[in-house]
Copies of this chain bind each other. A is one copy, B any other.
């Protein structure tokens, strides 16, 4: 099922998106795939535009094949020009209107080099986060400041304990914004000071990573305040604020960004949505995340190991000039299983331990033991380096 090819446009300038389609009774798969390609570009039924315009702008069904589970795999290509170098329009092109249908899952995505370069990706990436934290040759540990409702002093006390234990990153819970219980400016100052004091005592380089979600203006102001306070990274709720807001932050390049997956579950349906590795891997990375938090297998969310490995792969695989990003598995990792996960995912990983460290009676010692485990494993993990 190949459409006509525009001679003026090299094949490399096309976006390639693979969808799995669940066809209902009476749905003709070829028609369904063609309708999708037209809907996502010209929003008209096949045949309603001139041949020239079709060649220029309409999506093309390049391949269509039935899958083992009775769905149809449709490989559709779009002209890269359709998204005009804009991340919001890329999301729109890939899964905008068809999101309102049923049984359409975006499984795979390949972008031409020019578009990848325009979108940009992480400003720091794995290497940049390693430079900021000074950690080489092992996975990183990220502790979480919680809970919502705590005072700045209470959060700073926790931050001090995690930093004394040697946590590489100490991030705010993604629920922390500018609540009256712990206003942003006060929390930033207190936690920054606490981590700096601990670093002075241990000679370590723990980094405090404040949560900066809000309106576009607030994000920019909070990132600026964080950088002025000496922070090297921030945490952003990527989908509630919008992926273009994450992109804007990466383009400014003031601090590395850990992207939280809050709100992402809407897109992750097994029959209708976007595959987790495409959304949290490729798209979050292109948007500019230097690290992507996701719910690890075996925690309190229903991701399985294959899904996690797929996300890891997309974050680390070669992608033209786009920097690699850290997978940040979290979401209820049992501290006793850290060695197992470090072996499984390899050292290009940041392990996020929230409640598990929070509930330890000796947080300094508990943190220290985890760092020791990660040092012991070093680069000996199983995931091949892509």
Contact = CB atoms under 8 A, between A and B. Distances in A.
Given A262-B96, A265-B98, A181 B245 contact: no
A359 interface: yes
A214 B89 contact: yes
A100 B261 contact: yes
A95 B265 CA distance: 9
Contacts of A173: 43
A339 interface: no
A99 interface: yes
A213 B88 CA distance: 7
A142 B237 CA distance: 35
A93 B174 CA distance: 10
A253 interface: no
A86 interface: yes
A147 interface: yes
A264 B98 CA distance: 10
A185 to B, nearest CB: 13
A364 interface: no
Contact of A264 (B43, B99, B216): B99
A382 interface: no
A123 B149 CA distance: 32
B216 A216 contact: yes
A317 to B, nearest CB: 23
Interface stretch (A14-22, A61-69, A76-84, A201-209): A76-84
A263 B87 contact: no
B88 A240 contact: yes
Interface of A: 39, 41-45, 48-49, 53, 56-58, 81-89, 91-93, 95-102, 144, 146-150, 173-175, 177-181, 213-218, 237, 239-245, 247-248, 251, 261-269, 272-274, 295, 300-303, 331, 354-355, 358-359
Given A100-B331, A101-B265, 11 more contacts: A42-B148, A84-B177, A84-B178, A84-B180, A86-B177, A88-B213, A88-B237, A88-B240, A95-B266, A97-B262, A242-B243
16 contacts: A41-B147, A41-B148, A41-B175, A43-B144, A49-B149, A84-B179, A86-B215, A88-B240, A88-B241, A95-B263, A96-B174, A99-B263, A101-B301, A214-B244, A240-B243, A242-B243
